[in-house]
Structure 1
Amino acid sequence: MMAAPGADILRVGMVSSVGLSAEVTSAAVRAGIDRFQQSSVLDRRFNPLVMALVATPDLPPLAPALEGIAGLTARQIRMLRLAGPALRACLEDAPPGPAAVLLAGPEAFPGGRPAPVGPVFLEHLAAQAGVKLDLARSRVFPAGRAGVFLALAAALEGLSARRYDRVVVGGVDTLLDLYLLGTLDLEERLRAAGIFDGFIPGEGAAFLLLARPGSGRTPLSRLVSVGTAEEEGHRYTTAAPYRGEGLDAALKTAFAAAPGGPVRTVYAGFNGESFFAKEWGVAIARHKKRIAEDFVIEHPADCVGDAGAALGAMLVGLAAMSLAEGRRPSRCLVWAPSDLAARGAAILDRE
């Protein structure tokens, strides 16, 4: 899927285990700081799980308008508390009027459980953040880590078609869910004693305010292109072998829409598992002409853990801020894979 020509990234809002703002998170990641700590959740061996969580007292309480709503799960409530301040920060000083939000959320985990974020979540998010949203033109992408790239592609198409003057793209997730953690523990996917090929469960939220180039505001950086694809042989399928070609296809689309110099910085969606290394190996081998030999690679999950559907949005936000601050060489490639089929990549540049 090829997205329409680029957009300006005007502002970033973020909440992570290492910072309650985009600026603090960016500084912490640059410094290599993490907040990996033993949690109160025990694994099947009765050892505390190490997680990367935002301290609960640092999160705002659930908005009074949402208290007592039937059906809100603990995971949904925590996601609202994570997303509210990040969305509000993203919309600070934004032009008046309700904004459309294209939001990446968690995947529907195999086993028949529904995705925890649907359209009604956006209504709840507006109440939690205390902002007005254009709900009719907003949308949820329940596709995990790569979901933000599906949202970015939709945003670029909508900006190009002038359905949006501006649009917010983001992602939110928390892996602090007992059923989810229990399933991942049984699959031996979590980092623990004796398990090194695993990840640290995390959480967070990140939002980006996008506008068409020439909006009159100085951007942090330029979103040049987006590519999305599907990996037929993803982790939870037996229908096809895992060849690692989904990420290659996403990069092919992103590079095709981004003529110009080579990538000098890569923000990688590694989460600590070796599973996704094959895809990156295939992709870099096939696109080495578009990536500088001395490129710098960043993998922020080393600091924030695997923040699920928030991770892709955090990567894009961190890349945009690093370009704005001149701390990383331009241009940037950002990519992330989901546990299921979705794969995505984006090219960012300075103005």
Structure 2
Amino acid sequence: MTTPVGLTSSATAAAVRAGISRLRESPIQDKQFKSIRAGFLEEAHLPPLSEKLRIASSLMPARKQRMLRLATQALKEASLGSAAAPLFLALPESTGQQEDSAGASILEQLAVQADVALHLPQSRVFQQGRAGGLLAVESACQALRSGRCRTALVGGVDTYLDLRLLADLDLEGRLLVDGAFDGLIPGEGAAFLLLGVPGATRHENRVPLAHLLGVGLGREEGHLYSEVPYRGEGLAQAFHHLFASVPADIPKTRCVYAGLNGENFWAKEWGVAYLRHRQRFEEPLRVEHPVEFTGDLGAALSTTMLGLAAVGLYKGYREGPILVWSSSDREDRAAALVVGARRG
């Protein structure tokens, strides 16, 4: 992981567990000429763009360049010592109103930037924002189940450090600025996971941190930018598909890593999904929302939360099963369930 609170997975997990926040006033101003609070990394903490990409960088959007730099160390950390594996990568949502910072080219550029061998023919990008990381996990699991690969990298990277993006969010009233009681604090980061079939990395002396039980997907017709009434059905649908895919006799969920980002909009669907499946949750239920320390991580949020859950299970300060859920600004909703890894 590379986040505002830590440059590695262990540092990020420790900071979030301790409640350390790195949200600060940025040099960027809102429409009222007041500083925007954000979770942006200092330049000194990011590696430079690779010399091999410098020529292409003149045609590369600044946001894409920053995402490549954010992803560098996190991808290296996840793939260290592993054979070339496909990468299933979550990226910011495609709006069609601005140049996408995605496409197959970012996979090739990321392999160069991080100096990591990837199996590009099987790799994919998911331009679905916050929920994209869990969509990528589901796609990777399909590849593992089918035997197309024995290990797969899944990641997400995003940044709100883009003046046009921040201006649009400010005009929409979505930023938590002075005088606002509802809004998001922009952040940035990258998080990557190495998934594998049982025993896949034994020869690499890799120790599994957690066991992924399943993923459930849903679609919300009444999403943030839709004219259809918002009923919160999409996340409840994702929970339904998730719980239908896992053994019925597993213990009740003890902890939830929630994709709440500071906007009240998402509380309704979490409430609907929880009430419809309350029999699957232990009481009292522990609810974690890391965004309060990092800012909204966008497309990096799902994989960050899944990684935090895995580290917590492995180190013993979180009890499973743990449910991780996330919602995109548009239709996509997703949830996943993890437990402690089997030993031996």
1:233 aligns with 2:218: no
- Aligned partner letter, 2:93: E
Report the Cα distance in structure 2 between the residues aligned to 1:114 and 1:153, rounded to whole angstroms. Answer: 27
1:31 aligns with 2:18: yes
1:208 aligns with 2:193: yes
- Which residue in 1 is equivalent to 2:182? 197
- Which residue in 1 is equivalent to 2:266? 276
Report the Cα distance in structure 1 between the residues aligned to 2:131 and 2:161, rounded to whole angstroms. Answer: 20
After TM superposition, the structure 1 stretch with the greater mean CA deviation from structure 2, 21-30 or 256-265, is 256-265
Give the 5 Å matches for 1:212-223: 212-215=197-200, 216=202, 217-223=206-212
Report the Cα distance in structure 1 between the residues aligned to 2:115 and 2:150, rounded to whole angstroms. Answer: 21
Give the 5 Å matches for 1:72-111: 72-94=60-82, 96=83, 98-109=84-95
- Which residue in 2 is equivalent to 1:182? 167
Give the 5 Å matches for 1:235-274: 235-238=224-227, 240-259=228-247, 260-274=250-264
- Which residue in 2 is equivalent to 1:50? 37
- Which residue in 2 is equivalent to 1:6? none
Give the 5 Å matches for 1:299-310: 299-310=289-300
- Aligned partner letter, 2:31: R
Per-residue CA deviation, residues 159-218 of structure 1 (Å, 9 max, x unaligned), is 000001100001000000111000000111111110120111000000000001233353
Per-residue CA deviation, residues 135-169 of structure 1 (Å, 9 max, x unaligned), is 11100000000001111111111100000110000
1:138 aligns with 2:95: no
- Which residue in 2 is equivalent to 1:155? 140
Per-residue CA deviation, residues 305-342 of structure 1 (Å, 9 max, x unaligned), is 10100111101110111111111111100000000111
- Which residue in 2 is equivalent to 1:312? 302
Alpha-carbon distance, 1:93 to partner: 2.7
Report the Cα distance in structure 2 between the residues aligned to 1:191 and 1:170, rounded to whole angstroms. Answer: 27
- Which residue in 2 is equivalent to 1:11? none
Alpha-carbon distance, 1:294 to partner: 1.2
3-state DSSP of counterpart to 2:216: strand
Per-residue CA deviation, residues 66-122 of structure 1 (Å, 9 max, x unaligned), is 00214211100000000011000101132x3x221000000013x622432211001
Question: TM-score scaled to structure 2, two decimals?
Answer: 0.95
- Which residue in 2 is equivalent to 1:291? 281
- Which residue in 2 is equivalent to 1:335? 325
Structure 2 unaligned runs (5+)? none
Identity %: 48
Task: Give the aligned CA root-mean-square deviation in angstroms.
Answer: 1.0
Query: Which one scores higher on RCO, CA 8 angstroms, separation ≥ 6?
Result: 1
Report the Cα distance in structure 1 between the residues aligned to 2:99 and 2:286, rounded to whole angstroms. Answer: 38
